Amino acid sequence: MKIGVYAGSFDPITKGHYDVIKKSLKITDKLIVAVMNNSNKKGWFSLEERKDMIKLLIGEDSDRIEVKSFDGLLINFMKENGADIIIRGLRAVSDYEYELGYAFANHDLSYGEIETVFIPAAREYMYLSSSSVREAAMVGARLDIFVDDKIAEIVKEKAKTIKG
């Protein structure tokens, strides 16, 4: 069984992230969406809120997708979960250069047992990021082009709370 891990902060999960999740199901038997608990990163949503938004989106695919959180080394998390494929979404050439270094490091740290698979973002999501969603939400811009309708209201409410 091929188990893949798609890790990120997902603060919030965007349509681009969800696109990579759906594409990942074509090459894995099971996908773990691993939400990073990174205390160095100041995000909008708590770890549980981010996991809940992902679960809200995956709905019908939940029999093949598991949502978990982790901190520490990704390869340790993967070993604990029997996973052998890292899924990384790519938007631009700069993503590739950045991610390639991590792919080599993870391969070496795992003694060659873990491979990284790069999945390009759909054309319409090439320049979409969670930070751009947060910026749009802060100025009251439309969010339907960035996030699924199921979580747009959650993001809008969080922006109102942050603005005070």
Q: Is the dihedral of CA 70, 95, 62, 32 positive or negative?
A: negative
The whole-number pLDDT of residue 136 equals: 95
Give per-residue pLDDT as tens, 18-72. 999 999 999 999 999 999 997 777 789 999 999 999 999 998 667 899 999 999 9
The whole-number pLDDT of residue 117 equals: 97
* Residue that has been written with the tokens 């809120």 in this structure: 49
- Binding site members for substrate: 9, 41, 74, 88
Active-site residue 41, yes or no? Answer: yes
Region 106-128: what's the mean pLDDT?
Answer: 93
**Residue of 24, 30, 130, 134 with catalytic role:** 130
CA triplet 21, 106, 112: central angle to 5 degrees?
105
| Strand, coil or helix: 75 | helix
| Strand, coil or helix: 29 | coil
- Binding site members: 9-10, 17, 41, 74, 88-91, 99, 125-131
pLDDT of 91 > 90? The answer is no
Active-site residue 46, yes or no? Answer: no
24: amino acid identity, one letter: S
23-27 contacts at long range (C-beta below 8 A, 24 or more positions apart): 23/119, 24/87, 24/119, 25/61, 25/64, 25/65, 27/2, 27/85, 27/117
CA triplet 114, 51, 13: central angle to 5 degrees?
80
Largest CA distance in the chain: 49
Active-site residue 156, yes or no? Answer: no
**Residue of 41, 42, 123, 142 with catalytic role:** 41
**Residue of 22, 55, 79, 91 with catalytic role:** 91
**Residue of 15, 17, 30, 134 with catalytic role:** 17
Active-site residue 17, yes or no? Answer: yes
Give 47's contacts (C-beta < 8 A, 6+ positions apart): 35, 37, 69
Region 140-148: what's the mean pLDDT?
Answer: 94
